[in-house]
């Protein structure tokens, strides 16, 4: 008995949209701990639809669906794979122009085969490409779906604030500004040879600078979930387990945080000034969410690894990568928004901003001009120092405006880092670096943070040099609102690896200077 086989005309080319979808799914599969499937699915759809449109357009021009699909498939692969291949070839010094010639050659070969080839060539090629594309998609889904299905059912993590009273006198605005990876002054001097004048300037203007402060956790989302909720993450870490890489509960704590839930019933508006970091870009509980753009980190990463950056530079449209330009413009946007909020009157407000400065990429020169060239690991101290110099000037200018307000309108201000800069050994092995085995010097530079307070009307009593962020608003809410929030012991925890956030080790005792 003969088994019927598909006629050549029945082989439908589906590989271009499948290749387009696979590149997005692959990127998602490599970042499951930080990207939700909801963020990725619209990008998958756009990639698949775009590849389909390219296929139909090429089919009209070449007068054949399989012919059009062959060219569109090659173009889709080149479009999405360009950045990945360029990153892989960078260590061996393959120049960009040579890579572009190689991709152009691929398109020319695809076009020649599409134009010259008949069914005897195009049918098996189409069938083979369909199979390869389908296998790639299924392989990616085999990684993504089990991870999503294994996510535990969870509610929003919230922390209640007991014993809340009402703020005596006029309710002051509260400004909580996070400067990502701004190191402790003593660590700046020790690790980078940078003398930081900002702590003295702040002290001279009535701020308290915690000279021996450390982050409670090793990364942004953990640190801010702790400080905004005024608690340690022991319970969520125990519930999730040391092997979990699910950041969902932590992101929930970043959104429905205790500070906002305490202040909003007190009549406060919550202004959340977003930047380029997805978990703090928008807060659904805020009254206002000014953001530099609506693109997610994930969709931006897709663009950054495509051929678009290379083409825009090749034709002189841009002088740098889209990523560097976005970081620069986002920081400028955030400072403009903060400046605009100084003179605003009306309801008291909580102003929160997480600024990715002096976090790399090092896109600011000391005078604030844009640095288009890629970061140089051999000049990190100079580049980091230039960012610090520029940032200090912006901080001083903003604080000068706030302190110029009438005394009864001067806000409560917390200027703080969420973490310090990464040591060189970590940058060489970001995925599996075990922080519990870091040297004491590495831990001190990573955890030592800039941390400063301006508490008008109540003074600096209760503040102390080693205060950590978990206690910042325990102290402030107790001082201004009569909340029953005793200070917690200042503890410092590592996470074992980047994708093991809940596998924590207490390293508090290792922060002591020798």
- Quick: pLDDT tens for 72-106: 999 999 999 888 888 888 778 788 788 888 888 98
pLDDT at 27: 87
pLDDT at 210: 97
Instruction: List C-alpha distances in Å: 63 to 67, 266, 325.
Output: 7, 68, 41
List pLDDT tens digits, range 131-154: 999 999 999 999 888 877 766 555
Cα–Cα nearest to 213, from 423, 396, 440, 470: 470
Q: Answer whether 29's CB lies under 8 Å from 143's CB.
A: yes
List pLDDT tens digits, range 386-420: 999 999 999 999 999 999 999 999 999 999 999 99
DSSP labels, 361-403: S--B-TTS-B--SPP-GGGHHHHHHHHHHHHHHHHHHHHHHHH
The Cα–Cα gap between 365 and 389 comes to 8
**Host H or E run for residue 249:** helix 248-255
pLDDT at 399: 98
List pLDDT tens digits, range 283-297: 999 999 998 875 667
Which of the pair, 38 or 175, is modelled with greater confidence?
175
Mean pLDDT of the chain: 88
pLDDT at 276: 83
The Cα–Cα gap between 157 and 152 comes to 13
Cα–Cα nearest to 190, from 476, 481, 446, 463: 446
Is the C-alpha dihedral spanning 57, 61, 64, 66 positive or negative? negative
pLDDT at 1: 42
- 505 pLDDT exceeds 70? yes
Cα–Cα nearest to 451, from 440, 441, 438, 465: 465
**Host H or E run for residue 414:** strand 412-416
Q: How many CA atoms lie within 13 A of 353 on its CB side?
A: 27
pLDDT category at 312 given cuts 50, 70, 90 is confident
pLDDT category at 3 given cuts 50, 70, 90 is very low
The distance of Cα 393 from the centroid of its chain, to the nearest Å, equals: 24
Give the mean model confidence (pLDDT) for residues 245-251: 85
Q: Which of 108-117, 230-239, 434-443 has the highest mean pLDDT?
A: 230-239
Number of H helices, E strands in the chain: 18, 8
Cα dihedral 290, 294, 298, 303 in deg (nearest 10) = -130
382 contacts: CB under 8 Å, gap ≥ 6? none
pLDDT at 169: 56
Backbone angles phi, psi at 54, to 5 degrees: -60, -40
DSSP state of 113: H
Give the mean model confidence (pLDDT) for residues 59-70: 91
Three-state DSSP at 412 gives strand
Which of the pair, 21 or 168, is modelled with greater confidence?
21
- As a three-state string, the secondary structure of 403-428 is HCCCHHHCCEEEEECCCCCCCHHHHC
Cα–Cα nearest to 152, from 231, 277, 243: 243
Strands 500-506 and 493-497, bridge-based pairing: antiparallel
Bridge partner list, 270: 350
**Host H or E run for residue 269:** strand 269-273
Bridge partner list, 350: 174, 270
pLDDT at 157: 55
> Which pTM value belongs to this model?
0.84
Q: Rounded to 5, what percent of the chain is helix, strand, coil?
A: 55, 10, 40
List pLDDT tens digits, range 184-200: 999 999 999 999 999 99
pLDDT at 172: 94
- 69 pLDDT exceeds 50? yes
Share of the chain above pLDDT 90, in %: 58
Three-state DSSP at 39 gives helix
Give the mean model confidence (pLDDT) for residues 47-63: 92
């Amino acid at each position: 008995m003969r088994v019927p086989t598909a006629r050549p005309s029945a082989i439908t080319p589906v590989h271009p949209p499948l290749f387009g979808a696979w590149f997005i799914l692959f990127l998602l599969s490599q970042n499951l701990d930080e990207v939700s499937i909801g963020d990725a699915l619209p990008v998958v759809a756009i990639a698949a639809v775009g590849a389909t449109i390219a296929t139909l357009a090429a089919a009209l021009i070449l007068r054949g669906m399989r012919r059009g699909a062959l060219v569109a498939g090659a173009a889709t692969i080149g479009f999405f794979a360009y950045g990945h291949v360029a990153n892989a070839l960078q260590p061996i010094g393959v120049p960009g122009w040579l890579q572009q010639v190689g991709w152009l050659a691929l398109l020319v070969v695809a076009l020649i085969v599409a134009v010259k080839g008949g069914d005897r060539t195009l049918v098996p090629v189409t069938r083979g490409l369909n199979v390869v594309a389908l296998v790639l998609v299924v392989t990616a889904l085999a990684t993504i779906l089990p991870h999503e299905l294994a996510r535990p059912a969870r509610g929003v993590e919230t922390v209640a604030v007991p014993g809340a009273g009402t703020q005596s006198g006029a309710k002051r605005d509260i400004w909580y500004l996070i400067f990502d990876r701004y190191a402790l002054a003593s660590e700046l001097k020790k690790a980078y040879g940078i003398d930081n004048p900002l702590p003295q300037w702040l002290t001279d203007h009535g701020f308290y600078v915690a000279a021996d402060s450390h982050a409670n956790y090793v990364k942004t989302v953990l640190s801010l979930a702790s400080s905004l909720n005024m608690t340690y993450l022991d319970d969520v870490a125990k519930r999730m387990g040391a092997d979990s890489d699910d950041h969902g509960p932590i992101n929930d704590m970043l959104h429905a945080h205790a500070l906002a839930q305490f202040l909003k019933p007190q009549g406060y508006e919550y202004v959340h000034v977003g930047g380029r970091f997805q978990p703090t870009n928008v807060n659904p509980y805020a009254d206002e969410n000014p953001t530099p753009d609506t693109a997610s980190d994930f969709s931006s990463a897709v663009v950054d690894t495509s051929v678009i950056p290379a083409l825009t530079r090749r034709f002189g449209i841009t002088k740098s990568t889209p990523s560097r330009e976005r970081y620069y413009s986002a920081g400028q946007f955030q400072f403009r928004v903060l400046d605009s909020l100084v003179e605003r009157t009306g309801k008291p407000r909580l102003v929160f901003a997480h600024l990715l400065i002096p976090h790399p990429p090092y896109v600011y020169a000391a005078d604030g001009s844009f640095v288009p060239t890629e970061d140089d690991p051999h000049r990190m101290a100079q580049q980091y120092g230039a960012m610090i110099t520029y940032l200090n000037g912006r901080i001083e200018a903003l604080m000068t405006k706030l302190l110029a307000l009438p005394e009864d309108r001067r806000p409560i201000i917390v200027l703080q880092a969420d973490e310090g800069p990464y040591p060189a050994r970590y940058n060489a092995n970001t995925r599996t670096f075990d922080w519990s085995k870091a040297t004491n010097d590495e831990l001190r530079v990573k955890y030592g943070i800039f941390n400063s307070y301006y508490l008008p009307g109540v003074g600096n009593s209760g503040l102390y040099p080693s205060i950590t962020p978990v206690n910042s608003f325990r102290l402030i809410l107790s001082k201004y609102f009569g909340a029953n929030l005793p200070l917690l012991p200042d503890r410092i925890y590592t996470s074992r690896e980047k994708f093991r956030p809940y596998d924590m080790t207490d390293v508090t005792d290792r922060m002591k200077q020798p």
